[in-house]
Amino acid sequence: MKTSCYSSRYGVRTNGASRLTMPRLFAATVAALAFALFLTACENVPTYKQPALIRVIDASYAAPAVNVAAEGTQIAGNIAQGTISAYGAVPATTAALVTVSQATGGLLAQISDVPLAAGSQSSVFLTDNPAAPNGFALGVLQDQQVAAATGHSAYRFLNQAINTGPVDVYMIPGGTTIANAIPLITALPVGGTPTYINIISETAALVITPTGVIKPSYTSQPISLTGGEVRTVLILDSQLTSNPPVDVFTANDVN
């Protein structure tokens, strides 16, 4: 609780002494009562609590279209594989219940006791797990919520390309060939623990290949990075062709 109330008090002085007549005494009593009620009202103003931001990353090959909710609030509806939804705001809590259900009805997966701190950013991460009761795995990733340092950009790569396997990741500036480039990440495993990597901000193409292989590869259009960007990149097996071997989905975490 907090209050931003204050008061002023005035004395009435006559012939060098303070005097209150009956009308003035009555008025002073009413004023004092009103001031007391005013203070009580001020003390009952609740302190603002910043919500938590949460989104969904759908990397499941087997799941149908799904709805995802946190503490009963839907944060994404009727989404499919390859979707990285926009952030939605939910009340901060230390133990949220997150559910994933078929868009047509029926619970697929859930996770409880998820900490959603005030002002935090998180991603519900849906993947496949044949050993799980419903065949799906559900986790929550903590997203970076502050801009990368000046002149740098932060990238996080989520490899869920099960058939392709480990991949090498490059950021190749113009005029440089992949044969002359050094991988940003070598042998990024499927399902590996994701971390953000800081890179120099410049205009470069994102290139992803099966580990140790130069071709075939996924190559993006040139990406203009000016500094401060924070990105999450989801890597999935290509659904249409083996060349390129993967499909790539990129989301803005910050900037």
pLDDT tops 80 at residue 21: no
Where on the phi/psi map is residue 228: left (φ > 0), alpha (ψ -120 to 50), or beta? left
Q: Which of 41, 76, 44 is closest to 60 using CA atoms?
A: 76
Residue 252 has pLDDT above 60, yes or no: yes
Which of these, 182, 185, 210, 212, lies nearest to 196 by C-alpha position? 185
Region 152-177: mean pLDDT is 96
CA distance 246 to 234: 10
The pLDDT tens digits of the residues spanning 6-15 come to: 334 334 343 4
What letter represents residue 207's amino acid? Answer: V
User: Which three-class secondary structure state does DSSP give residue 200?
Assistant: strand
In this prediction, residues 101-112 reach a mean pLDDT of 95
pLDDT score for 41 = 53
Domains in the chain: boundaries: 14-43, 49-143, 146-255
What pLDDT score was predicted for residue 242?
84
Q: Which fold, 146-255?
A: Immunoglobulin-like (2.60.40)
What is the CATH number that goes with domain 49-143? 2.60.40
Q: Residue 3: pLDDT above 50?
A: no
Q: Could you tell me if 75 and 68 are in contact, meaning their C-beta atoms sit under 8 angstroms apart?
A: yes
Q: Give the whole-number percent of the chain exceeding pLDDT 90.
A: 75
Looking at residue 11, its pLDDT comes to 40
Domains 49-143 and 146-255 in one fold: yes
Residue 141 has pLDDT above 70, yes or no: yes
Pairwise CA distance, residues 151 & 229, whole Å: 10
Three-state DSSP state, 22? helix
Chain segment 42-60, per-residue pLDDT in tens: 555 556 689 999 999 999 9
Tell me the pLDDT tens digit for each residue of 206-251: 999 999 999 999 999 999 999 999 999 999 999 888 889 999 999 9
At residue 133, the pLDDT reads 86
Q: Which alpha helices (DSSP H) does the chain contain, by range? A: 22-43
Cα(first)–Cα(last) distance of the chain, in Å? 33
Q: Is residue 147 over pLDDT 60?
A: yes
How much is the pTM? 0.81
With tokens 């809590």, the residue in question is 93
CA–CA separation, 130 and 187 (whole Å): 24
Distance between CA atoms of residues 153 and 199, nearest Å: 5
pLDDT(80) > 60: yes
Structure tokens at 127: 């993947």
pLDDT value for 43: 56
pLDDT band at 105 (very low <50, low <70, confident <90, very high): confident
Rounded to 5°, the CA angle 17-19-25 comes to: 155
Look-up: residue for tokens 């002002």? 119
- Report whether 79 contacts 55 (CB < 8 A): no
pLDDT at 116: 97
Give the C-alpha separation, 202 to 208, whole Å. Answer: 18
Dist. CA 133–CA 114, nearest whole Å: 20
